Structure 1
Amino acid sequence: MGKKLTKKRAKLLAQLEHIVGNNCYNGSIQNYGPGGSFEGAGRDFRYPLTVVDAEGAKRKTWSPAIDETPEALSTGYYSFGANRLQIIQALNEVLEYLETNSDLKL
């Protein structure tokens, strides 16, 4: 990862990740309400962020990961079967790009 993650930067990345993770949708999920009444197909859901702590233990979170240490947060990824999206690293690269090319000041 480019810049060292300060606590302030880690908090911003955790908040940005939470926005991205809250924008998942599955059109195949069937929604049923009280009494079994069909309420339509499709559902938005929160994609879990996986982080790895200093001891190597993995844990998933569905809440903003603002309480994670910058070191643990920097490991944050989305797991898609055998694939991973290094979402925290990607968001940090976006911030670095904006800082370099669009005068973003953090």
Structure 2
Amino acid sequence: MKITKKRASLLRELERIIGSETFNGKIKNYGSKGTFLGEGRDFRYPLSFTDETGQKIKPKPPYSDLPIDVQMTGRYVMGTNELHIMRALEKAVQYLEENHALKI
């Protein structure tokens, strides 16, 4: 499926929501017995992309100025592991379209 500008915009927005829910246990978002200590201690997880030449890039948001093909390479790099978040979100949106009548 070709990713339209409208669909890419939706995927970027979903990624922004997910990426903004990151926390680090050493920052202590949670107090004793798992009590949430409030907003302001979370952070935006950075996205990495692969550009048209195959180079890894880490531009600052917003990512709307990147070609859509490059946007779709967006991933979270966590040590030696990577979560291809943009591809995963596209699969989730496709699932909702096919199984729950989502219209975009």
TM-score w.r.t. the length of structure 2 is 0.81
- In the other structure, the counterpart of 1:63 is 61
Q: CA separation in 1, counterparts of 2:76 and 2:42?
A: 16
Which structure features the higher share of helix residues?
Answer: 2
Which structure features the higher share of strand residues?
Answer: 1
Q: CA deviation at 1:62?
A: 4.7
Which has the larger Rg? Answer: 1
Given that 1:21 and 1:47 are in contact with CA atoms closer than 8 Å, whether structure 2 keeps it comes out as yes
- In the other structure, the counterpart of 1:13 is 11
Q: CA deviation at 1:58?
A: 1.7
Percent identity of equivalent pairs: 47
- In the other structure, the counterpart of 1:48 is 46
- In the other structure, the counterpart of 1:33 is none
May I ask how many residue pairs the two structures share in their alignment?
A: 93
Deviating above 3 A after TM superposition, structure 1's stretches of 4 or more consecutive aligned residues are none
Stretches of structure 1 that go unaligned for 5 or more consecutive residues are: 31-41
Stretches of structure 2 that go unaligned for 5 or more consecutive residues are: 29-39
Report which structure shows greater RCO (CA 8 Å, sep ≥6): 1
Q: CA separation in 2, counterparts of 1:98 and 1:64?
A: 25
